[in-house]
Amino acid sequence: MNRILSYIMLLSVIVAVTGCKADKVYKIGVSQCSQDDWRAKMNDEINREIMFHENAVVEIRSADDDNARQIEDIKYFADNKFDIIIVSPNEAAALTPIIRKVYESGTPVIIFDRNIIGDTYTARIGVDDEGIGRSAAHYATHLLGKGTTAIEIYGLRGSTPADGRHNGFAKEYENEGGRLLASVPANWNKEDAIPVTDSLLKLYPDIDLIFAHNDRMAIGASEVARRHGRRDIRVIGIDAAPEIGIQAVADSVIDATFLYPTEGHRLIQTALAILKGQPYRRETLIPASSAVDLTNADILLLQNETLKQETGKMRLLKAQIDDYWAKHSAQTSLFYASIAIIVLLFGVGFLLLRVYWQRNRHRKTLIQQNRLLEQERDKQKQLNEQLEAATQSKLMFFTNVSHDLRTPLTLIAEPVAQLAQAANLTPRQQTLMKIADKNVRILKRLINQILDFRKYENGKLDLRLTEIDFDRATRDWMESFYTIAAKRDIHLTLAVPADGTNDNSTGNTTGRKPPRVAIDTEKIERVFFNLLSNAFKFTPDNGTITVSYHTDGTTLTFGIKDTGEGISSRNLGNIFDRFYQADRVHPQGSGIGLSLAKAFVELHGGTISVDSTPGKGSEFTVTLPVTHVTDNTVIEPKNIDDKEVKAELDDIDTAMTFDDDKPLLLIIDDNTDIQKLVGELLANDYNIITAANGRQGCRMAARYVPDIIICDMMMPVMDGLECCRFIKNEVSTSHIPVLMLTACSMDEQRVQGYDNGADGYLSKPFNTEVLKSRCAALIANRKRIIRLYSTTVTPPEKPSAGAAPARQLPTGDIDNEFYNRFIDIFNREMGNSDLNVDTLASMMGLERSQFYRKIKALTNYAPVELIRRLRLQHGRHLLTTTEKTISEIAYETGFSTPAYFTKCYRDAYGETPTEVRNKLKG
């Protein structure tokens, strides 16, 4: 709909502007050097001519005889992108540089009236100023006769019209017998001409003629002559502007003036011809005209008046035409706009109809969808009810099972505890019993937590408030953790309020009243145990855990702060939810401990919160309201003893020995008890090393190159799948068999394990015999592969003419690729007697120890032994297939001397190379 509306609006705009495209309008700039009657006449002619050209506009600026101002005018026209500039230079030398710059920049320039130095212009229109000067001289001789004297009122020094008029008059006047007594500039102004004439008349009182370069100066000179009583002096001017010069002649102020053509129309016509690319004359020189005196002055004034009237009529007609076209344009625009509006109204009407049709269709669709949603809502409600009932049934079943588990667990726990303390067990049996005892205690605690949480959800969990000294209780609870803290070098401290001092001898705080509060000691102790044990789990060795508390009389706040790994912001808001585990991929708990802690705290009417920064640690804060049930405190026995703390946090010490004849087994699992259990079960057959996560396991696999790896699936830092994929893609470890041992037993998870390179898969809980059998089978398979590699380097027992050097194996397997690359490098470097294991390891991109273990694992030969066997095998091939001497063969196969080659050959084959040659010849 929006697209159709846009199309209609675009069409309307196109219709509205169709036919309105105007031709290019040319901008013409005119720079006059001054303002006078002659230039006013020229400006009128320019404006009159521009009226006949609708595609052009003109702007006229006057510099008032100021060079700097005229330069700024020309820059103004250039900066405002005028299409052409018409200039009458005030002075040639001053204006030539700016005119040259504009012309060379690509803007056409027309010079008129006055000239510049050089020819850097597009066209020039001027008047024959020397001819005018000569005409003035002829007229003076005709008027006065020969042998007369004259003075000249000069224009402006440096002005080309003034120079031309002077040169023409002076030469012709002297040729006619006259004598020019003086020529003084008056800068084209009447005001400057008056004092100049006054001074000259005082110096030359007997002159017959005053020749002025324009009419204004001529009028000023005539006024001075009359003041001196010299009405007999003839005065001649130039320009013949109607209001000034011709009127002065008609009034007998001056005797004559010479018409200086303005040609304003010619300037505009030439400019437009240049802009439109039409033919034009680059140099135009307008010839001099006849004199204006009393005989024709009245006629010229009458003509000028008539011309002014006609010009006024033309302007009026032009204004009427412009008004007509403006009205016509407005009516045309209104017409097109009306068409556009009509089209737009039709479009809007169509869109409204379309919207109406779509609305009806959408309404029907929505009604149908709402009906389906209501059906789905009813189904969802029914499914939710069924799910809730099923969930409650499962939780009830789980609770009942947990109840049922307590009896057999009790029967298991005590015998296991007794056996763990027995003195007649072997070290291995003691380790296994300690593992069992530890995990029985953990299982018992988890079952108790589940049952307590179900009681809380059902509202059957009651408080048993007891008045206690919280400082003493806190120290008692912490006492069970000091052994673990010392063992792991963790700095465990209690921060008491600032108004008390710690008394180590009594275990109390002196200098203040002990903090009393009524709480359910068992429940708050479990909260404390959960928070502190979590801090130990996630704080590395040499870290810090700080327990603190303070009270303000109405609330008691205690906190546990650690320097562990912290909790991400993504998990921070959910860690108190039941069964939520902060690390979904690598969980380290049941997800119920913090939820139960929150339940116990809220049962007291308190709050629990956490503040954590990943990589810096976490701080849990519990706030409880201070209530009292008695005036005296009681000492409650601890519900969590040292054994429970050790079961939760302590590692079980094992004593394993290394035997060089046993295969090396790497166990990668984040659960230390699993590491110890598997290690104890397989210690008789393997040397055991362990890693706590996938990344550590990859480093240890590359460093020790074990014979087999048992890897858990779900681990922190790097999981088992990624670890297995890394091991199988590394050249130094790709041959090691990997057995995945995990609680993830679904077929999809098995497929993931095999896709990432696992050689075997065993689910938890596992059978010891099955585990041993799988490990033995994987190692046996690896040995069969080793025999395959060995056949490529084991020389035959008897010599034969067909014995060939070591062959390569089929490609496609990373171990085969490794061995083939080794064979290629060896064959290329075989003749180098300095070739050693370090050089080969460097060429293969491995450390010496990695290269040694890799070659040993693949071929069952040490690299030095393998190199010697390959050299001997190739030497035997050369002995039986070529005619090369024994010395040549020895050097070609990389032996330092033929004697050493013979010794090694005899040790390997039981005969010397010479005996082999003799047999072949015999």
CATH number assigned to the domain comprising residue 917:
1.10.10.60
User: What confidence tier does 585 reach under pLDDT thresholds 50, 70, 90?
Assistant: very low
- Report d(CA 853, CA 849) in Å as an integer: 6
- Report d(CA 26, CA 275) in Å as an integer: 8
What is the CB neighbour count within 10 angstroms for residue 686?
Answer: 27
β-pair partners for 238: 258
Q: Which residue has the tokens 């083939």?
A: 820
Kindly state whether residues 861 and 917 are assigned to the same domain.
yes
Kindly state whether residues 731 and 856 are assigned to the same domain.
no
Mean pLDDT within 725-732: 82
More confident residue, 344 or 577: 344
pLDDT above 80 (res 235): yes
Pairing of the two strands 283-286 and 123-127: parallel
**pLDDT tens digits, residue range 51-92?**
888 889 999 999 988 899 999 999 999 999 999 999 999 888
64: left (phi over 0), alpha (psi -120 to 50) or beta: left
Mean pLDDT within 725-743: 83
Instruction: Calculate the average pLDDT of the chain.
Output: 81
Kindly state whether residues 687 and 645 are assigned to the same domain.
no
Mean pLDDT within 484-512: 66
pTM above 0.85, yes or no: no
**pLDDT tens digits, residue range 101-141?**
999 999 999 998 888 888 899 999 988 889 999 999 999 98
**pLDDT tens digits, residue range 779-798?**
888 777 766 655 555 444 43
Three-state secondary structure call for residue 585: coil
Beta-carbon contacts of 86 under 8 Å, excluding residues fewer than 6 positions away, are 28, 29, 30, 31, 109, 110, 112, 267, 271
**Backbone angles phi and psi of 31, in degrees to 5:** -110, 105
Kindly state whether residues 539 and 592 are assigned to the same domain.
yes
What is the CB neighbour count within 10 angstroms for residue 781?
Answer: 13
Q: Could you tell me the two tokens for 262?
A: 């303005």
- Report d(CA 861, CA 847) in Å as an integer: 18
Domain assignment present for 756: yes
Query: What's the confidence (pLDDT) of residue 872?
Result: 85
Highest-confidence segment of 588-592, 616-620, 731-735, 782-786: 616-620
pLDDT above 80 (res 736): yes
**Residue 531 sits in a domain of what CATH number?**
3.30.565.10
Mean pLDDT within 349-361: 88
Mean pLDDT within 692-710: 87
More confident residue, 19 or 543: 543
Kindly state whether residues 693 and 737 are assigned to the same domain.
yes
Q: What share of the chain has pLDDT > 70, as a percent?
A: 82
Domain assignment present for 259: no
User: What confidence tier does 633 reach under pLDDT thresholds 50, 70, 90?
Assistant: confident
Domain assignment present for 412: no
Among 716, 751, 784, give the residue marking a domain's end. 784
Kindly state whether residues 907 and 867 are assigned to the same domain.
yes
**Residue 711 sits in a domain of what CATH number?**
3.40.50.2300
- Report d(CA 638, CA 641) in Å as an integer: 7
- Report d(CA 816, CA 538) in Å as an integer: 43
What dihedral do alpha carbons 883, 888, 889, 891 form, nearest 10°? -170
Mean pLDDT within 697-705: 86
Q: Could you tell me the two tokens for 756?
A: 């990432």
pLDDT above 50 (res 557): yes
Three-state secondary structure call for residue 557: strand
- Report d(CA 365, CA 367) in Å as an integer: 5
Domain assignment present for 818: yes
Three-state secondary structure call for residue 604: coil
Domain assignment present for 326: no
What are the CB-based long-range contacts (under 8 Å, 24+) for 766-773? 766/741, 768/681, 771/678, 771/681, 771/682, 771/741, 772/681, 772/682, 772/685
Beta-carbon contacts of 709 under 8 Å, excluding residues fewer than 6 positions away, are 665, 666, 667, 668, 697, 701, 727, 736, 737, 738, 739
Find the helix packing angle between 837-844 and 863-881, rounded to 10°.
100
Asked if 222 and 190 touch (Cβ cutoff 8 Å), the reply is: no
**pLDDT tens digits, residue range 454-474?**
666 666 677 888 888 888 888
- Report d(CA 728, CA 709) in Å as an integer: 11
pLDDT above 50 (res 504): no
Q: Could you tell me the two tokens for 96?
A: 């030539």
**Backbone angles phi and psi of 676, in degrees to 5:** -70, -40
Kindly state whether residues 474 and 531 are assigned to the same domain.
yes
Three-state secondary structure call for residue 919: helix
Asked if 667 and 678 touch (Cβ cutoff 8 Å), the reply is: yes
Q: Which residue has the tokens 């006047």?
A: 173
User: What confidence tier does 443 reach under pLDDT thresholds 50, 70, 90?
Assistant: confident
- Report d(CA 213, CA 488) in Å as an integer: 116
Query: What's the confidence (pLDDT) of residue 6?
Result: 55
Query: What's the confidence (pLDDT) of residue 880?
Result: 79
Kindly state whether residues 195 and 178 are assigned to the same domain.
yes
Query: What's the confidence (pLDDT) of residue 654?
Result: 58
What does the angle CA 735 – CA 741 – CA 743 come to, to the nearest 5 degrees? 150
Lowest mean pLDDT among 600-609, 619-628, 634-643, 709-718: 634-643
**pLDDT tens digits, residue range 246-271?**
899 988 899 999 988 888 888 999 99
Q: Which residues of 52-80 are buried (b: 16+ CB within 10 A; e: fewer)?
A: ebeebebebebbebebeebbebbeebbee
Q: Looking at the 3D structure of the chain, how many domains does it have?
A: 4
Q: What share of the chain has pLDDT > 90, as a percent?
A: 19
**Backbone angles phi and psi of 852, in degrees to 5:** -60, -50
Domain assignment present for 285: no
Kindly state whether residues 798 and 779 are assigned to the same domain.
no
Kindly state whether residues 820 and 907 are assigned to the same domain.
yes
**Backbone angles phi and psi of 215, in degrees to 5:** -70, -35
User: What confidence tier does 892 reach under pLDDT thresholds 50, 70, 90?
Assistant: confident
Element (H, E) at 110: strand 109-112
Domain assignment present for 360: no
Query: What's the confidence (pLDDT) of residue 556?
Result: 92
**pLDDT tens digits, residue range 416-427?**
666 767 777 777
Query: What's the confidence (pLDDT) of residue 386?
Result: 80
What does the angle CA 601 – CA 604 – CA 607 come to, to the nearest 5 degrees? 45
- Report d(CA 528, CA 547) in Å as an integer: 10
β-pair partners for 201: none
Among 768, 784, 800, give the residue marking a domain's end. 784
Query: What's the confidence (pLDDT) of residue 589?
Result: 47
pLDDT above 60 (res 800): no
Query: What's the confidence (pLDDT) of residue 574?
Result: 66
More confident residue, 588 or 480: 480
Lowest mean pLDDT among 13-22, 110-119, 713-722: 13-22
User: What confidence tier does 153 reach under pLDDT thresholds 50, 70, 90?
Assistant: very high
More confident residue, 777 or 856: 777
Query: What's the confidence (pLDDT) of residue 453?
Result: 65
Nearest Cα neighbor of 818 from 854, 868, 777 is 854
Query: What's the confidence (pLDDT) of residue 899?
Result: 86
Query: Quick one: DSSP state of residue 246?
Result: I
- Report d(CA 389, CA 883) in Å as an integer: 92
Domain assignment present for 835: yes
- Report d(CA 805, CA 794) in Å as an integer: 10
Kindly state whether residues 686 and 624 are assigned to the same domain.
no
pLDDT above 80 (res 31): yes
Mean pLDDT within 40-57: 86
Q: Residue 212 belongs to what domain range? A: 128-252
User: What confidence tier does 803 reach under pLDDT thresholds 50, 70, 90?
Assistant: very low
Lowest mean pLDDT among 10-24, 422-436, 561-575, 670-684: 10-24
**Backbone angles phi and psi of 556, in degrees to 5:** -115, 125
What does the angle CA 731 – CA 734 – CA 740 come to, to the nearest 5 degrees? 150
- Report d(CA 696, CA 668) in Å as an integer: 8
Three-state secondary structure of 725-781: HHHHHCCCCCCCCEEEEECCCCHHHHHHHHHCCCCEEEECCCCHHHHHHHHHHHHHH
Kindly state whether residues 192 and 171 are assigned to the same domain.
yes
Complete DSSP assignment for 361-405: HHHHHHHHHHHHHHHHHHHHHHHHHHHHHHHHHHHHHHHHHHHHH
Find the helix packing angle between 593-603 and 521-538, rounded to 10°.
150
Among 223, 252, 281, give the residue marking a domain's end. 252
Lowest mean pLDDT among 63-72, 284-293, 394-403, 776-785: 394-403
Query: Quick one: DSSP state of residue 489?
Result: T
User: What confidence tier does 20 reach under pLDDT thresholds 50, 70, 90?
Assistant: very low
Pairing of the two strands 516-519 and 466-469: antiparallel
Highest-confidence segment of 547-556, 624-633, 788-797: 547-556
Element (H, E) at 675: helix 672-682
Mean pLDDT within 353-382: 88
Q: Could you tell me the two tokens for 206?
A: 């007997």
Q: What is the largest CA-CA distance in the chain?
A: 164
